[in-house]
Structure 1
């Protein structure tokens, strides 16, 4: 017991659970300079995005910033990726809108419960569960979510009000009320979109080699690069200044964000009950209202974060620990709920900015978190003048990179069957997110089980039938193999002997063993032999321990053929079978 406690409290274990202890001793002034630059750049990105994502979640805009700083601080201590930044994302905001009913009390409680579930998964080492969600399912879900989120912002570009949020009704009522479009919102929204695209193109077309440029060119390069990277902040600030000018002249041209709560959020536990329609909703009722969200939100949050972390770890040549990532995300959500955060996860766009700016450690997140806190403390009154059309443009540009239908052409070329889970997930998520994910996972599982139930076999049909299994032999395949042998061998005239070659069989179970026992008995009733060859020692030990009567095993298929035809009558063998003779028999009966 003392050795277990000593191991648990060792410095090695502490470094594993507090990854900051690995990189902090190596920290340098060069790292500090790069982390400050990266943190500042990401901070200028996360503030406008946080405000926009709160709109997607159906919450007051300040909740986007409430959700943007705690994850930065927690991940610095517990995270294993130097690049990733935790905070609100478009997809997570869409999930919150689906399961929190646009109620901040529900949203904050969902963050707490989501964190508890993710923390428990990390402690139980359940990070492997995401391996059961295939890539086509992930792409189907993210593409569907991007389309849903993007179209959901069209109403803000057009300045329409009272449009329902359910996707199909949203599409219908947006076109139904399109004649009510506000010209000011439309012009500002389209201008914001155009400016965001132009700034991104300018940044992407900057020269990579700077040493050949003059000093003036380098300064211009730095300015364009900074403005292109912080383009969301540039567009939101510009749009807000334009809106302020009109409002100061008492001209209400744009739909504005409106008043928001000023200052930092209170530090308190989430509320475990809610008041609705003059009655108190208990904690158990709130859990029932969350429904499948208690499974979908934690899983998607971890899935989104781990996919991003793995991508940038591979790109920058380091490794991450999925279970430690679960602990980091879970802790960030639990502690975030104490400052009124809704569920957060890794952001692909901000992580890309972080990596491209040259961040050296998770400490860059501290700078980002401080910028968000300063914005909450001093800039909240200015949020009133932010036009919703500008925030909508930020969201549309953010999710445009997530929407990827090129995967359809790729799947068509590589494996057409994988289009089924992709389409099930893509189309199902327009109806209900959890049903789309479940449909995709279910179809992927069916395809996987079908491959197990119909194992690939190489059949050599000579005077003796040789069946070589190309994969594992598990219980869903027993009936299929039995029926195949019965139709192809036992119903033939005359019935022929069969050799089962298990060279590639890596797994077997009791149901399969029992099925093979029945198959041997059936062959004996037809007075023909069923022999086994080339099975691995592990598989052979399972077969022999089952004490199957009549089991005959040989070291090789050649030896089994020699046994059937008689070593002294090899001239009776088919010419294609003769090279198979050379070894000795091992017999179990």
Structure 2
């Protein structure tokens, strides 16, 4: 608390500048010493970094831009700021076309350098992820309330498309648990999959089509920043909640329950389990489930402890399917209440373009479901792709990935597939198995093709219990408690988003959990935008640097001067808050200001008039290019006087407190 009349403020600058407002108002120190009031006094407004230069320079105003130039620059900043094709602008026409094609289809680049050694690595990796993916695909299709063959279809066509356009060497494509659960939950709210299976599949293909269109559009228009609104903390909570929900849903197959709730919240599931406890459980099913789940968890533990033995956990699901199928066939457990898969349609993907709803009420419903599920799938794939790209030190273009994923899902929707994306489990196995390029996805696709053509009849006696065990073992890895604890330590608001998403999924539904996650993330952004912090600055002894008291306790106050930095843009959303903060005897803190709008300028004008009545002068320091241009066009510089605009805090302090500068 500052005793007397004290004002602190900070405005706008470029990214390389800071914003400081110094009020030539009082003599003070900040930490540990009493603040005392002096009369005399001027206001200093610093908008930039201090410079040790001894010479004073005048802040210049850049030339005014035309309306066309402003809109053109804004469009380039939004759509082309990270355009990789800009590097080809000096190439010849034919060369430019070839390089552009290589950008859209990376296979044209890495395919020219493909070797036998790379093929060996991709072959081993493809066979390994196939052994993991095939059992998972059948289980995940059940999560989406779709026939098991559609899960296999979705690991045949999409993995053929992605290597043509995708840039990740490690990501493995196919159905994933979270998207399957989300899609199944949203679809069954519209159509009952049991009474209307054909219409349900049509809506699933429609949602997949619009999910692909959404993903491709985001990549084409370079709008990938939209998925960043779902924060990392929210994703951690959402994934953990979804993992628990998925595991609870698998209790139907795990315990052999015939009549099970269609709701996904934990209360409904536990009630359903309790009601069936006396007569609905099957002990043979429980024995199969528990035995193979233990086997899967043990192999997963071995794979984590010894990275060289990752293949044990990778082939464990396929081994479980084979062994459990043989056991059921030999003991005929299916005649004693053990539910089996019975029938998986043989043959490759049939065309499904005619099944998609392109008009009518179901088209709109498919669009809504597709957008939501597509964004979740996109978020998961981009996060996984960036993780492995960082580990192996290669670049991954997020917008190109979105275009590849979108194209993959559009083609998938036309060939009886549902939404596919990159799964972390299979991608991790793919990477550890030694994949060299995205061609490992093609090997996976070929194995799935052979499975569809020749092996599906052998799944007739596969117990559904083993599929439940495989899914439960797979989703346990989605619960990242270490990251949640780290979020708690670092940022409590982020942890609230994590917790909100988790409880929303577990106690309500997947879509409500998602809405809560996005909602809390947006609230955090709004609070940061409307409540900027303002930092009190002082001089570092024997330097010309002015730093934050909270960060550097050794800084000292300049007698008669109060220096404050607002580290945030001043827009309509926070202009009144900043202005009011400067009309109190409190000193606040904030983030770097990079821009100002008309509301911010109006707030500065009001602040200037209030301070003028109190005989306090407002002085600007180092406004950035955008800021000084707007202040000049608004004639605010004329209002305060150009002689009160300085390049550095040192220059301003030298003007109003020369003894302090001379003593440095």
1:242 aligned partner: 327
Q: Distance in 2 between matches of 1:375 and 1:539?
A: 64
Q: Distance in 2 between matches of 1:74 and 1:375?
A: 19
Q: Distance in 1 between matches of 2:484 and 2:124?
A: 39
Alignment partner of 1:42 is 2:120:
no
Alpha-carbon shift at residue 126 of structure 1 (Å):
1.6
2:119 aligned partner: 32
The equivalent position to 1:393 in structure 2, one of 469, 473, 489, is 469
Alignment partner of 1:164 is 2:266:
no
Aligned residues: 538
The equivalent position to 1:468 in structure 2, one of 547, 561, 565, is 565
Q: Distance in 1 between matches of 2:324 and 2:561?
A: 81
The equivalent position to 1:174 in structure 2, one of 267, 273, 278, is 273
The equivalent position to 2:287 in structure 1, one of 187, 198, 201, is 187
Q: How well do the aligned residues superpose, as a CA RMSD in angstroms?
A: 2.9
2:525 aligned partner: 448
1:554 aligned partner: 646
Alpha-carbon shift at residue 201 of structure 1 (Å):
3.4
1:539 aligned partner: 627
2:584 aligned partner: 487
The equivalent position to 1:55 in structure 2, one of 142, 149, 155, is 142
Asked whether the 8 Å contact 1:184–1:254 carries over to 2, the reply is yes
Give the structure with the larger helix fraction. Answer: 1
Asked whether the 8 Å contact 1:45–1:232 carries over to 2, the reply is yes
Alpha-carbon shift at residue 295 of structure 1 (Å):
2.3
Asked whether the 8 Å contact 1:559–1:581 carries over to 2, the reply is no
Alpha-carbon shift at residue 556 of structure 1 (Å):
3.7
1:256 aligned partner: 340
Q: Distance in 2 between matches of 1:380 and 1:424?
A: 42
Alpha-carbon shift at residue 502 of structure 1 (Å):
12
Alpha-carbon shift at residue 579 of structure 1 (Å):
1.8
Unpaired runs of at least 5, structure 2: 1-88, 194-199, 538-556
Q: Distance in 2 between matches of 1:377 and 1:322?
A: 35
Unpaired runs of at least 5, structure 1: 209-223, 274-281, 490-497, 571-577, 584-589
Ranked by relative contact order (alpha carbons within 8 Å, sequence separation 6 or more), the top structure is: 2
1:330 aligned partner: 406
Q: Distance in 1 between matches of 2:310 and 2:531?
A: 56
SS in 2 for 1:475: coil
Q: Distance in 2 between matches of 1:403 and 1:562?
A: 58
Q: Distance in 2 between matches of 1:50 and 1:283?
A: 30
Instruction: Give a deviation string over 1:487-519, Cα, whole Å, max 9, x none.
Output: 229xxxxxxxx9x99995432222211210121
2:536 aligned partner: 459
Asked whether the 8 Å contact 2:207–2:367 carries over to 1, the reply is no
Q: Distance in 1 between matches of 2:237 and 2:494?
A: 11
Alpha-carbon shift at residue 334 of structure 1 (Å):
1.2
> Mapping of 1:328-477 within 5 angstroms?
328-430=404-506, 431-459=508-536, 463-477=560-574
1:579 aligned partner: 660
Alignment partner of 1:108 is 2:205:
yes
SS in 2 for 1:198: helix
Asked whether the 8 Å contact 1:501–1:533 carries over to 2, the reply is no
Instruction: Give a deviation string over 1:135-157, Cα, whole Å, max 9, x none.
Output: 00111111111111011101211
TM-score, length-normalised on structure 2?
0.76
2:605 aligned partner: 517
Q: Distance in 1 between matches of 2:289 and 2:108?
A: 46
Q: Distance in 2 between matches of 1:192 and 1:442?
A: 40
1:131 aligned partner: 228
Q: Distance in 2 between matches of 1:108 and 1:5?
A: 43
Q: Distance in 2 between matches of 1:86 and 1:503?
A: 40
The equivalent position to 1:198 in structure 2, one of 298, 304, 317, is 298
Note closer, same or farther for the CA distance 1:487–1:67 as it changes in structure 2 (3 Å cut).
same
TM-score, length-normalised on structure 1?
0.85
